[in-house]
Structure 1
C-alpha cells in the first residue's frame, strides 16, 4: 500500500468562515460537516478538517498544486477580493508572484491567519 495523506486538522476562530473562504478561493465544492469538523475535500480526496478553537492559532502553511488555468482563476479571485499576496513565504515581495521551477506561485493569508500558497509546478521539478 502506498502511503498517502488522508486528512489534516486546520484550527480556526470560525471554521465556517475559514472553510468557506478556502472553497470559494480555490473553486472547490462547499464544505461538508463531519462531527465537529467542517471538511473541505480536495480533488485528490484529501480533506482539510476545519475545527473551531479558542486556543492560540499557530499559523500553518498549506500549499496547493494547481494547473495554469486554475492559477489564473484563483489568482483572479485573490485580486478581486483585494487579498494581500506575496511572491515569497517571508512576505518580502508584496504584490508579486514567483516563477520557481518554470511555473507560477503566490502566497496569501486565510481568515484564521494560515499562510496559503498556490503553485503550478512542484518545487524541485525543474525549470528556471
Structure 2
C-alpha cells in the first residue's frame, strides 16, 4: 500500500460535505451564499448545496417539524474579501460580533494576526468568518 492509496491509513482525510439543518433550506442557503459572495446550487435530492469552492459543500436540509439545534460553522475568507462580507451583513441588517458569545456587537476581532467576526444565520447557527485559521499547538 502506498501513502496515497485511499485504503492507506496515512491517506489524507478531508471533509467533502456537511448537512446543515434549516427550517427553510432555501432561505438559509440563500442567506449564507449572499453573505459569503457565493451561489446556491441546484437541489440534490432533499439537499440544497452551497459550494464553498474548496471541495466542501454545505448541504442545506430542511427540518420543519423539529427545532433546529444551533451549530457552529467557521469560514476562512481571503483578507481582501473580509470587508465585503461585513458590508453585506450590515446591508441586510445582521449584527456581527467580535466574540462567539455575541457580547461585542458591531466589532471584529484580531485573533491570530487576522480578522474575524461571528453572526447568526436565520436558524440561529453561529457562523464565523475569519481571515486566518486558529493557531493550534
What TM-score, normalized by structure 1, do the two folds share?
0.93
Greater Rg over alpha carbons, structure: 2
1:121 and 2:126 aligned? no
Cα deviations by residue, 1:105-128 (Å, 9 ceiling, x for unpaired): 000111111111100011117xxx
Contact 1:19 1:31 in 2 (8 A): no
Contact 1:23 1:31 in 2 (8 A): no
The match for 2:41 is 31
1:56 and 2:30 aligned? no
- Which runs of no fewer than 5 residues in structure 1 stay unpaired? none
Structure 1 residue 43: Cα displacement: 1.0
The match for 2:31 is 21
Instruction: Decide which of 67, 78, 88 is 2:99's aligned counterpart.
Output: 88
Cα deviations by residue, 1:65-119 (Å, 9 ceiling, x for unpaired): 0111111111110111120111000111111110001110000111111111100
* 4+ runs deviating over 3 angstroms: none
Contact 2:40 2:48 in 1 (8 A): no
What TM-score, normalized by structure 2, do the two folds share?
0.87
Contact 2:29 2:48 in 1 (8 A): yes
Structure 1 residue 14: Cα displacement: 0.2
Contact 1:32 1:40 in 2 (8 A): no
Task: State the distance in 1 between where 2:100 and 2:13 align.
Answer: 28
Alpha-carbon RMSD across the aligned residues, in angstroms, is 1.1
